[in-house]
Chains A and B, each alone.
Chain A
């Protein structure tokens, strides 16, 4: 009898977990469909249930752009709607997020920025408690990032030896038809999309994949009436960088940039790790549980401890600013984009994941970590808490640190 009761509780838990914030169900579609070709308006998306994903302002580190910082100082969280589809070969996401202005980088200004979005996937998630750091992975825990931005024609260096096309038309010797041909060749050399994928083990280490080993497709469409972007990503379940073919659930995170607010790089909104449950596939139940479970600790007592022990280095909110603001990650949105497991791990063993932080040259007197001869990084933070209950309480409190949602 007791056993039955237990299993009922467990089932109830799983059912509620699937609809809770922190997970998305990817609907299975036929193998004839190539998700890489799905546009945001495709009817197939109606098969997938849209889930809400909250995107929080990145405040871990402050960038050095004065106007950008001012534009983003009062950022609130946004709610995006995410749908996912998969079949035996591919997986696809559609993310729709509100954005009052359509910002497109058109290749003429030095101070205009595009809207954009990114989808981040952990390359290894066997241990659900040791996912990569949310901000573009961490050492030994790489992530794959697919990025798209709203740009018009641009001419990034391409190694195609088309330097003759880089001169201005006035500087060519061409006239008449030759000049028309020159203009045509220049137009052909332009790129009109900005789809990129990166491998990253912590921000700053992010490196673009340029060897064609990452084949994917992204689209971005702006709904001028609804004032929202809709972006899609379609990619194979497996390629040289990542293998999702055996997974039952996959940790995915989303980020969006607002060009109007000079968003790029760290000036963005991002989600925490979201478990994308591949409907009908078994495996990785632990991951779903880990990412959807509410923290167990007592946030009240956690608050007292964290405020007493952490605020000399960590900023907790606009009111609770660190005594040394450059010394450590700003935690004012940490509850929005960090997982409970990451927080617990970092409190108990600060060097397990070392956030690269600022360029070490930018704030030399506030090194977040030390590097030994072999390149091993040791966090400057000592292990502050060892007691399990105390850590749980701190995590419960830290999970409450996040911006409110924009209405």
Chain B
């Protein structure tokens, strides 16, 4: 267990599945050098197969006795989906619908000319089943978006599976990282992670994963996925910082829950479960008053029994707000300001750097630097 733990809360009621987080992460970290197929951050439709395909059925994590479970390593084409490309030359030829196969295999053999075609026949990819969900449209269909990054677990399955001690959890903030120098590309970590959020980079033959944007955090910037989120659904802060909104949502008001905590890895990414969905319709298309489109069993699968209490609290707070106009929880969840949602404790990181004998880097932005050990910083006064 690390000395402190940095955590993230995601409010699923507000996620609109726009994938801005996904793209922010991809352009920052995974658009090159063997990482093209990886999505350290992805947003999947739940219920659905997710990414990689049926990840919840691929094993890993711990059983009730605390023993690491066997897992399956997904295949790039079949389970992740490979990034395909197009023969853009056909655009210059103004030939979009031709069917002839060219020398590289674009198009269909026997046709006269190749039109705009993917260079491989894709069979699966992230978001392959986007917005499908379950149920019948329009009477009782339902789905919601589930953004996922590495959970930076307190008891990581990947770390426990590594036979080379190449994975470690940072003492200062609990970020789980791969030491690429020690990694030998065995991939037991992928089998061990129940969330399948550690990936094999075949080009360099080593495992890679979400790093919680630690180089940004150390300089006072929130992770790219969190800062770019247009719905402001992501809160970032230390779990021991009682002023942080993360602390308040997770520990004080207990409305944020970890995903699949039954895997036993003690994840540190928390979710506000989705409480808001339209009511169901009857056969004539009339609203069934008081009906619940998202079955509680689905939420129980994801967030455990505690979800009942959380939904009750959230519904209660909404009622309270309607009646009195007051609710601190809802004020938090509205997320008025980024500067309140992110508390990255920059002085703490500066002290950690000094203690390691490294040169502390000055923060790039002064808005998110506050924290338990940061009321004022040397460069400028933190905003009240």
Contacts and interface: CB of A to CB of B under 8 A. Distances in A.
A397 to B, nearest CB: 29
Contact of B71 (A65, A170, A171, A203): A65
A18 interface: no
B188 A65 contact: yes
B319 interface: no
Interface residues of A, number: 40
Contacts of B98: none
Interface string B18-62: 000000000000011110100000000000000000000001100
Contact of A326 (B31, B59, B67, B200): B67
Nearest to A168: B32
A124 B68 CA distance: 36
B66 A203 contact: no
A308 interface: no
B230 to A, nearest CB: 25
A105 B205 contact: yes
A124 B190 CA distance: 36
A187 interface: no
Contacts of A107: 34, 202-203, 205
A72 to B, nearest CB: 13
Contact of B72 (A66, A171, A362): A66
Nearest to A69: B70
A111 B36 contact: no
Contact of A204 (B60, B165, B205): B165
Interface in B139-191: 155, 159-165, 180-182, 184-188, 190-191
Contact of B161 (A67, A151, A207, A359): A359
Interface string A355-373: 0001101111110000000
A110 B187 contact: yes
Contacts of B187: 65, 110-111, 264
Interface string A199-230: 00001111110000000000000000000000
B74 A110 contact: yes
B199 interface: yes
A167 B76 contact: no
Contacts of A171: 31-32
A160 interface: no
A69 B69 CA distance: 12
Contact of B192 (A64, A154, A207): A64
Contacts of A361: 68, 155, 159-160
Contacts of B67: 326, 362-363, 365-366
Given A207-B182, A264-B186, A326-B67, A111 B74 contact: yes
B65 interface: yes
Contact of B70 (A65, A155, A170, A206): A65
Contacts of A265: 163-164, 184, 186, 188
A155 to B, nearest CB: 5
A266 interface: yes
A155 B34 contact: yes
A157 interface: yes
A166 interface: yes
Contact of A110 (B69, B80, B85, B181): B80
A365 B65 contact: yes
Given A64-B70, A359-B161, A361-B159, A110 B202 contact: yes
A110 B65 contact: no
A168 B205 CA distance: 17
Nearest to B32: A167
Contact of A64 (B65, B180, B184, B191): B191
Given A65-B70, A151-B205, A166-B33, 9 more contacts: A64-B71, A107-B203, A110-B73, A110-B199, A157-B181, A204-B165, A359-B163, A361-B159, A366-B67
The 4 residue pairs across chains A and B that have the minimum distance between CB atoms = A166-B33, A362-B68, A66-B70, A361-B160
